[in-house]
Amino acid sequence: MRQGSHVIVLPFPGQGHLTPMSQFCKRLASKGLKPTFVLVSDKPSPPYKTEIDSITVFPIPNGFKDGEDPLQDLDDYMERVERSIKNCLPELIQDMKLSGNPPRVLVYDSTMPWLLDVAHGHGLSGAVFFTQPWLVSAIYYHVLKGSYSVPYTKYAHSTLASFPSFPMLNAKDLPSFLCESASYPNMLRIVIDQLSNIDRVDVVLCNTFDKLEEKLLTWVQSLWPVMNIGPTVPSMYLDKRLPEDKNYGFSLFNAKVAECIEWLNSKQPNSVVYVSFGSLVILKEDQMLELAAGLKQTGCFFLWVVRETETDKLPKNYTDEIGEKGLIVSWSPQLEVLAHESVGCFLTHCGWNSTLEGLSLGVPMIGMPHWTDQPTNAKFMEDVWKVGVRVKAEDDGFVRREEIVRCVGEVMEGESGKEIRKNSEKWKVLAREAVSEGGSSDKSIDEFVSMIF
């Protein structure tokens, strides 16, 4: 190993950021780099090495004491995380320098743009990592530059003039913080700030792949040193085949893996609707009840992830009522589930990881976006990549049970479902190509690695 083959990877501490950045970290390790993965944690343990990939995991505190609720105030949370990272990171870099293998690059989450100056201040290059697609970053960039005006009413639409490839975007298709800026001023600032210093960044990494956003790629590459390195889905899942090892490598979640997979094993191919809204979306109680009724009414088998904090909102006796038709779990091994042949469609909130996972594994989708970039992802999923449908919500955002039934019917059985399935197969092949040896993302990762060696 040559001097300087070290790289630090620093995600924002949320599932949708940790997952793709840890997968990217594994890819870097597989190409011979020695990554240190900095994990902002509420209960930091001493540093340790992962067994298989020999990645050093370096937990640091999130700045909250035991008993304090970090989710009370977003600004406070961001400030404390920033303070803690600024405290711990220089020491880590210094130690790495002293150990004779100094880090060359800091790969940092786009939601913490101030890390660019921290990297430069310590003689490291700064590689920003976007866990959202270019279509979303492009919109934020134009809003930042003042060259895009958000439609004021739900019915108005607007296109980004510089991107003829963009479909017409209604207010309901835009990232939610733009249209509901008054409700989430802090979130709006954070998402726009991601682009604030992109013109000075040394490398811009994005969890997408060239063909998926082909038309935008020309534009973003004309501005920044862009490398699309996704999908970060581990390649063993991209064959829609489960790994040989029945432990699936997830010792922590083995019981849950087994529960889901055994249930899926007993079902026919393409007969199950998998339902998950990611790690953050909170549905109102009436929406949960309606969704529960809708899923039951479809008559299909369904595997529904309902986080423990949400189970109270399910109808009483629901599990008894649905019997063998449905399985409700508090967490699912999503990649294993999506890769399972029994899964025929994915009802998703369209978080970027979930969208990319569904698309890469060739599973037709039903988009039920909630907030942040999910509406935009849903728009592209339905209208550009054509791998699913999006539920039509009432004016107040409520989705009726009949709409759930209609969408499931359309995707699982309808004529348009056949077209969707064909497109899903196409994108699955393209996603796999991108990360296979010699594919566009694989080449980008090689290029990135060669910059560090």
Could you list the active site residues?
17, 109
The smaller minimum CB distance to ligand UDP, of residues 163 and 331, is found at: 331
Position 373 contacts ligand UDP (CB under 6 A)? no
64, 163, 184, 331: which one binds ligand UDP (CB under 6 A):
331
State the DSSP code for 58. Answer: E
- Is 74 among the residues that bind ligand UDP (CB under 6 A)? no
Name the residue nearer to ligand UDP (CB basis): 219 or 352: 352
Query: Which are the contacts of 177, defined by CB distance < 8 A and separation ≥ 6?
Result: 184, 187, 188, 191, 371, 372
CB of 273 to ligand UDP, least distance (A): 15
* Residue whose CB is less far from ligand UDP, 353 or 424: 353
Q: Are residues 375 and 172 in contact, defined by beta-carbon separation less than 8 angstroms?
A: yes
Near ligand UDP by CB under 6 A, which window of 78-86, 327-335, 380-388, 423-431?
327-335
Sequence-separated contacts (24+) of 157-164 with Cβ below 8 Å? 162/219, 163/138, 163/215, 163/216, 163/219, 164/215
Number of residues in contact with ligand UDP, rule: CB under 6 A? 17
CB 174 within 8 A of CB 196: no
- Restricting to residues 266-285, name those near ligand UDP by CB under 6 A: 276, 278-280
Q: Does 336 bind ligand UDP (CB under 6 A)?
A: no
Residue type, 191: V
Rounded to a whole number of angstroms, the minimum distance from the CB of residue 30 to ligand UDP is 19
Q: Tell whether residue 16 is a contact of ligand UDP (CB under 6 A).
A: yes
Secondary structure class of 397 (helix, strand, coil) = coil
Using CA atoms, how far apart are residues 198 and 225, in angstroms rounded to an integer?
10
The answer to whether 387 and 423 are in contact (CB under 8 A) is yes
Residues 6 or more apart in contact with residue 103 via CB below 8 angstroms: 4, 6, 7, 8, 36, 93, 96, 97, 124
CA distance 392 to 230: 30
Which of 210, 290, 357, 442 touches ligand UDP by CB under 6 A? Answer: 357
> Residue 336's beta-bridge partner residues?
none
The H-or-E segment that residue 365 falls in is: strand 365-367
Q: Please give the distance of CA 34 from its chain centroid, rounded to a whole number.
A: 24
Within 10 angstroms of residue 187's Cβ, the number of other Cβ atoms is: 17
Is 137 among the residues that bind ligand UDP (CB under 6 A)?
A: no
**Which ranges in 66-111 belong to alpha helices (H)?**
74-98
Q: Rounded to whole angstroms, how far apart are CA atoms 281 and 416? A: 28
C-alpha R_g of the chain: 22
| Smaller CB separation from ligand UDP, 104 or 370 | 370
Least distance (Å) between residue 16 CB and ligand UDP: 2
Complex with ligand UDP: residue 279 or 423, whichever CB lies closer: 279
Identified binder of ligand UDP from the candidate list 332, 376, 440, 441, rule CB under 6 A: 332
Binding pattern to ligand UDP, positions 224-263, x when CB under 6 A? ----------------------------------------
Site for ligand UDP in 151-190 (CB under 6 A): none
* Shortest distance, position 103 Cβ to ligand UDP, whole Å: 26
Q: Which position among 7, 55, 138, 305 is part of the footprint of ligand UDP (CB under 6 A)? A: 305
Does the footprint of ligand UDP cover residue 218 (CB under 6 A)?
no
Interface residues with ligand UDP (CB under 6 A) are 15-16, 19, 276, 278-280, 305, 331-332, 334-335, 351-354, 357
